[in-house]
Amino acid sequence: MLQFTRGAIRLLIIANLLLGVAMAAVLIWSFATGDPRLGDLLRVNYPPVAVFALPVRHGQAVLLSVLPMMVAAHVIFRQLLAMLGSVAEGDPFSPANADRLVRIGWALLAIQLLDLLFGAVVFQVEQQMGNQATGWAPTLTGWLAVLLVFVLARVVREGTRLRSEAELTI
């Protein structure tokens, strides 16, 4: 199961990188051209609320708000992969894993803050495009996950300290 999870995370890293490169290419291309819609640049058929149906400046704003989320997701995937490596080695309770959890917590916080930015961009786009509903809404779950990961980092750090103290007394 551990090997499967590591493989799945590796696939997520690759997919995230490929999608990020593609989105960055579309963003750069959109700045370099004067076409009125991103979908016209890519010659795709698009539903009315898709990012490709947006005027270029709105599509650029959406892409600019999503790309940093992909960077944060990459940080999370890499830290999870490193943690799984330490689990495979038989030492899951280590200061390094506590540090990795803290980095994951900061990346999750960044995603939550960027999601608020994304929501603001979506709100502006909806206002200018006639209030088409996109389905974006803030959620409490992500904010709770941020707190949970920071608490887990503290638990791992404290567990590591207690284990090392116990090893010294034996």
Q: What is the pLDDT at residue 32?
A: 77
Closest C-alpha to 26, from 47, 14, 43, 48 = 43
pLDDT the model gives residue 162: 87
DSSP 49: T
Give the per-residue pLDDT at 120. 83
Range of the domain at 113: 2-169
Rounded to whole angstroms, the Cα distance separating 13 from 5 reads 12
Q: Would you state the pLDDT for residue 26?
A: 81
Total structural domains in the chain?
A: 1
Give the chain's residues under pLDDT 70: 34-58, 129-135, 170
pLDDT confidence of residue 77: 97
Reported pTM = 0.80
Q: Whats the size of the chain, residue-wise?
A: 170
* 37 SS3 class: strand
Q: Which residues contact 55 (CB under 8 A, 6 or more apart)?
A: 36, 37
Report the pLDDT value the prediction gives residue 96, as an integer from 0 to 100.
95
Contact 76, 108 (CB under 8 A): yes
Rg over CA atoms, the chain: 21
Backbone phi, psi, residue 133, to 5° = -75, 130
